[in-house]
Chain A
Amino acid sequence: MLNAIMKSVELGLLFALMALGVYITFRILDFPDLTVDGSFTTGGAIAAVMIAGGYSPWLATICAFLGGLVAGVCTGLLHTKGKINGLLSGILMMIALYSINLRIMGKKPNIAILNMDTIFTGANLLVVMIVVVVVVKLLLDLFLRTNLGLALRATGDNERMIRSFGANTGTTKIIGLSLSNGLVALSGAFIVQQSGFGDVTMGVGMIVVGLASVIIGEAIFGAKTVFRATLAVILGSVVYRIVIALALRVEWLDASDVKLITALIVIIALVVPAARRSAKQKSQAHKRTAELLSGTGPKGGVS
């Protein structure tokens, strides 16, 4: 059991960077970016090919990050310069990346790097990942407090306002998408090195996993400040892995059900708070109506 939890924590941290990427687009930019499924694989593919080719695993990891940055820029250009709907821009990039990823992998659907040196060789995976995730989190927090970072956040919060203060929101969107997909690709590169192989389908459904992590994290740990929110996303990613591990202990569920379970988690997390809000509002309305009819309580209207 303890072993299973340790495994979940490891996986959670490996995927946490992907979740942070999803947080940047979905939460900060308010841009539902589906490039993620493609760019996760891009990162994995670049890392797998380079490591298999004998390059340093750290160099391979950095190149994977750069590959993700480029993918994000492409989505951003489609949306801002091509004026294509955001959702569609992401889907187009995701599809295009499927072919590109196969090209990167030399048209092989998977590449094994089991016997090669990775960044985890001779190191404790958990320790490496804690260090990486904490460093990335703190850098991201810092970035979001810079002038550029503030403009990026305002682009998602009130685009019209930040444009009226002279920020080019096309550029801030491209930067956000780029950074997001860079982190997603980085996560893909880590997963390849942990599992020992890269697969062209490894990114399928990643966007929903990322969303699940973001939503779980926010629900449990809150998102009052940027510092809290990014921490919540990372912890959300870990909790998600623990939930999946527990679910898989149920006898009639098996590994192929993971995507369904993930979708259900996201659906529940989206539906329940909304339903709760509307129920609360309704009961409030009933109470107030009764008060108004009986002439007790404060008079209506806002002051």
Chain B
Amino acid sequence: MLQINQVSKLFNPGTPDEKIALVGIQLHLKPADFVTVIGSNGAGKSTLMNIISGVMRPDTGTLHIEGAAVGSLPEFKRSQWIGRVFQDPMAGTAPNMTIEENLAMAFYRGKVRGFGLGVNAAKRRMFKEQVARLGIGLENRFGAKVGTLSGGERQALSLLMSTFTSPKILLLDEHTAALDPARAELITQITQDIVREMKLTTLMVTHNMEQAIRLGNRLIMMDKGRIILDIDETRKKDLTVERLLGEFEQISGKKLADDRIVLG
């Protein structure tokens, strides 16, 4: 489904500020893989997400989605296959537009945006059905501007918006990190339901070790721009937080340095 071959990315190469964000990343995802990604601060997790989605271009290496080379496509073209939820609850929705208008824009992912009405009666009914499945009552506030929603509500809406056209790949970059624990758990639950139901190929960055182990069928750990650990489904089943941290120390020779880490 997604094939990343030998992807590297350097910031400010050849200057004293040089930052190695990714080196020779090799990652293949099968359809319906749900991969959790953990790693220390500055390991390159967000950069990897940005390279897959086309926000940044890799310095070397290739990217394929379902066999098609997408490495040189601009972000807006790649967006037709890739759904994203950002860490910042403000980032995934348009605050001065209503809930239904936001949904209408998401509904047109990858389609030509012409002079058809964004929201009509039939679409409104369909949107309402979808929103109702989130189970947080947003369907009763359809005309409200998204800026009036709480962070958790916005994140739930972003999640729905980024998935309801069945993207080939779903990228979640710490999408629960800005929420309080209860809301984070709710969003995690919704994520799990949607991904399972729609069989989405998903890459999810998280700082919650317990969550990284509990969710998905594969876990990768990054450090200094490399994937240092790749745990498949069978080994993931009897993984514990202690063992995961132990593995990290053994491979990288240091403790996992992560200022937002949540053990579980």
User: A282 on the interface (CB 8 Å rule)?
Assistant: no
Q: Chain A's nearest CB lies how many Å from the CB of B156? A: 15
Within 8 A of B (CB), among A107-163: 143, 145-151, 153-154, 157-158, 160-163
Are B113 and A148 touching (Cβ within 8 A)?
yes
Instruction: Compute how far the CA of A167 lies from the CA of B114 in the bound complex, rounded to whole angstroms.
Output: 11
Q: Chain B's nearest CB lies how many Å from the CB of A102? A: 37
Are B84 and A164 touching (Cβ within 8 A)?
yes
Main SS of chain B's interface residues? Answer: loop
Interface size class, chain B: 20 to 34
Are A163 and B95 touching (Cβ within 8 A)?
no
What 1/0 mask marks residues of chain B from 105 to 146 whose CB sits below 8 Å from any chain A CB? 110111101111111000000000000000000000000000
Partner of A157, one of B76, B79, B95: B95
Inter-chain CB contacts under 8 Å: number: 86
Chain A positions within 8 Å of B82 at CB level: 164
User: A82 on the interface (CB 8 Å rule)?
Assistant: no
Chain B positions within 8 Å of A161 at CB level: 91-94
Closest to A148 in B: B113
Q: Chain A's nearest CB lies how many Å from the CB of B108? A: 5
Within 8 A of B (CB), among A206-225: none
User: B240 on the interface (CB 8 Å rule)?
Assistant: no
Are B95 and A158 touching (Cβ within 8 A)?
yes
Chain A positions within 8 Å of B199 at CB level: none
Chain A positions within 8 Å of B77 at CB level: 166
Chain B positions within 8 Å of A154 at CB level: 94, 97, 105
Q: Chain A's nearest CB lies how many Å from the CB of B49? A: 11
Are A160 and B115 touching (Cβ within 8 A)?
no
Chain B positions within 8 Å of A157 at CB level: 94-97
Q: Chain B's nearest CB lies how many Å from the CB of A141? A: 12
Closest to A169 in B: B76
Are B105 and A162 touching (Cβ within 8 A)?
yes
Are A151 and B105 touching (Cβ within 8 A)?
yes
Partner of A162, one of B84, B94, B110, B119: B94
Closest to A165 in B: B109
Chain B positions within 8 Å of A146 at CB level: 113-118
Chain A positions within 8 Å of B80 at CB level: 166
Q: Chain B's nearest CB lies how many Å from the CB of A300? A: 16
What 1/0 mask marks residues of chain B from 144 to 180 whose CB sits below 8 Å from any chain A CB? 0000000000000000011000000000000000000
Are B118 and A145 touching (Cβ within 8 A)?
yes
Instruction: Compute how far the CA of A59 lies from the CA of B116 in the bound complex, rounded to whole angstroms.
Output: 28
Are B53 and A150 touching (Cβ within 8 A)?
no
User: A289 on the interface (CB 8 Å rule)?
Assistant: no
Instruction: Compute how far the CA of A145 lies from the CA of B161 in the bound complex, rounded to whole angstroms.
Output: 18
Given the contacts A163-B75, A166-B110, A150 and B104 also touching, CB distance less than 8 Å: yes
Instruction: Compute how far the CA of A158 lies from the CA of B106 in the bound complex, rounded to whole angstroms.
Output: 13
Chain B positions within 8 Å of A56 at CB level: none
Closest to A151 in B: B113
Are B91 and A167 touching (Cβ within 8 A)?
no
Q: Chain B's nearest CB lies how many Å from the CB of A161? A: 6
User: A99 on the interface (CB 8 Å rule)?
Assistant: no
What 1/0 mask marks residues of chain B from 170 to 198 whose CB sits below 8 Å from any chain A CB? 00000000000000000000000000000
Most chain B beta-carbon neighbours within 10 Å: one of A150, A160, A161, A164: A164
Chain A positions within 8 Å of B119 at CB level: 145
Instruction: Compute how far the CA of A148 lies from the CA of B118 in the bound complex, rounded to whole angstroms.
Output: 8
User: B223 on the interface (CB 8 Å rule)?
Assistant: no
Q: Chain B's nearest CB lies how many Å from the CB of A280? A: 19
Are A147 and B76 touching (Cβ within 8 A)?
no
Are B114 and A160 touching (Cβ within 8 A)?
no
Contacts A150-B104, A150-B118 supplied; 11 other A-B pairs, CB < 8 Å = A145-B117, A147-B111, A147-B118, A148-B115, A153-B94, A153-B101, A157-B94, A158-B90, A158-B94, A162-B105, A166-B80
User: Nearest 7 pairs between A and B by C-beta?
Assistant: A166-B79, A157-B94, A147-B113, A150-B118, A158-B94, A154-B94, A148-B113
Could you list 17 examples of A-B contacts with CB < 8 Å?
A: A145-B117, A146-B118, A150-B97, A150-B104, A150-B105, A151-B113, A153-B101, A154-B97, A157-B94, A157-B96, A158-B90, A158-B91, A160-B91, A163-B76, A166-B80, A166-B109, A166-B111
Binding site for B on A (CB under 8 A): 143, 145-151, 153-154, 157-158, 160-169
